[in-house]
Amino acid sequence: MMPRPKWWSYNYTVLLITWMGWISIYLARSVLPPVLPVLTVEMGLTHAQSGLLETAYLIGYIISKVPAGGLSRRFGAKRVLAGSMVGYGASTLLISSAQGYTHVFILRFLVGLFQGVHLPVANALLSDRFGSKQGRAIGFNESGANVGNTLAFPVAVSILSTWGWRVAFIALSIPAFILAAVTLVLMKPEEESVDDAETSDGNLREYTRVLIPLALSHATYNLVLRTTFTFMPSFLVEFRDMTVASAGYLAMVLPFAGIFAKMGSGFILERIGPKASISGASALSSVFLAGLVMGPGGYWVGLNLIILGLALYSYSPIIYSSTTGSLPSNLKPVGLGVVTMFGNLVGAVSTSVVGALIDSSGYRLAFLVIAGVTVASSALVNLSFPKIEIR
């Protein structure tokens, strides 16, 4: 083995593994949308059935958030992370041999169930290891989701056009198995910290005043994220009169901008603190969401999407860092699981609600309503947010 560079510490090894974990998660998660038109025809699915496949994923993703913390404490972060990788890799692989809708539905639920473990376990682990610099580490870690999402669509489409949708599921499941092996070899078992030993009897309810505004912030983030991610291509075609191809490429600007937003979020957190970071990013997201329907067309739409992506994606890592940084070690995974579970529940419900609002009142009113809710949430968070010292 080559000697490790002096500037490289084991903490960076952990960070690299969790970052690559997000990439493999989104390769497996995002293989479905680009192959769905072909799968739908082959299996004779309705649009409602196709939409329920995402619901199945989200149900699994949500319910594993809180138990992830207990699993991590009992079996260790190393085993839980590696086990989750094998779980969602195997579930994705098995979709390639699915013989009907029920099989795909159950397997997508399992993909979500295993993938939901990663966020609370990985971010709690990084929080303990990086301490006051955890904002930077968690921000970089979260950028892996955007990298994986950006890669998944063109890779899946290329495989689909050559070998079919079943091979796409096989190919994009492989990174999870490779990373699971790397995790077992390179990660060390985590030792109980002094903070853990001293606060093992701590109760999460003692931190309610901190967790409520953070959960509200994550819910608002999910409201805007699910709206833009789900409806942006349709909005660009129907409201801005773009072609389907142009709308598809332009919509990818949002997650691409998010790569840089997440990497820089830790520096923002360190400079202005969690309260200003979260409420500011929320307010900016509302402004540029409204700008999509109130502003001019042409090049402004692309610029608007870039700024919206930078604002929107910047504050999810700040929420995670603020949550873990405000809790003792033994409560970090559970606390982060509670905050993200609430946010994901809002995200799961909001897609159908926003869709109904678009059907009844159009994109202009729907986007303005969401922008208004986001502004109100930003103000409420700003007023109720307690002072947090990131530890």
Residues of the chain above pLDDT 70, percent: 93
The pLDDT of residue 200 is above 50: no
The 10s digit of each residue's pLDDT in 55-106 is 888 889 989 988 888 888 889 999 999 999 999 999 999 999 999 999 999 9
SS3 92: helix
Q: pLDDT value at position 195?
A: 46
Domains: count for the chain: 2
More confident residue, 205 or 302: 302
Residue range of the domain that includes 85:
1-191
Query: Among 23-37, 71-85, 226-240, which is the least confidently predicted range?
Result: 226-240
CB 313 within 8 A of CB 258: yes
* Residues contacting residue 93 through CB under 8 Å, at least 6 positions apart: 169, 170, 173
Residue 235: band (very low, low, confident or very high) from pLDDT cuts 50, 70, 90:
confident
Residues 207 and 185 reside in one and the same domain: no
More confident residue, 80 or 348: 80
Q: pLDDT value at position 183?
A: 97
Domain finish residue from 134, 165, 191: 191
343-360 average pLDDT score = 83
What's the maximum distance between 2 C-alpha atoms anywhere in the chain? 63
Residue 3: band (very low, low, confident or very high) from pLDDT cuts 50, 70, 90:
low
CB 309 within 8 A of CB 255: yes
Residues 134 and 239 reside in one and the same domain: no
Residues 187 and 205 reside in one and the same domain: no
265-276 average pLDDT score = 90
CB 261 within 8 A of CB 140: no
Residues 135 and 245 reside in one and the same domain: no
CA distance 261 to 313: 6
Q: pLDDT value at position 46?
A: 78
313-335 average pLDDT score = 89
CA atoms within 13 A on the CB side of 68: 36
Domain finish residue from 165, 191, 217: 191
Residues 153 and 283 reside in one and the same domain: no
Residues 107 and 254 reside in one and the same domain: no
Residue 176: band (very low, low, confident or very high) from pLDDT cuts 50, 70, 90:
very high
Q: pLDDT value at position 133?
A: 87
Q: What is the CATH number of the domain that holds 95?
A: 1.20.1250.20
More confident residue, 34 or 133: 133
Domain finish residue from 146, 165, 191: 191
Q: Which of 124, 339, 331, 358 is nearest to 222 (CA)?
A: 339
Residues 111 and 138 reside in one and the same domain: yes
The pLDDT of residue 193 is above 50: no
Residues 156 and 225 reside in one and the same domain: no
Residues 86 and 219 reside in one and the same domain: no
The pLDDT of residue 2 is above 90: no
Q: Which of 111, 121, 136 is nearest to 26 (CA)?
A: 111
SS3 38: helix
Residues 187 and 277 reside in one and the same domain: no
The pLDDT of residue 199 is above 90: no
More confident residue, 54 or 93: 93
Residues 184 and 212 reside in one and the same domain: no
Round the average pLDDT of the chain to a whole number and report it: 87
Q: pLDDT value at position 49?
A: 80
Residues of the chain above pLDDT 90, percent: 48
Residue 201: band (very low, low, confident or very high) from pLDDT cuts 50, 70, 90:
very low
Tell me phi and psi for residue 6, to 5 degrees: -60, -30
Residues 75 and 187 reside in one and the same domain: yes
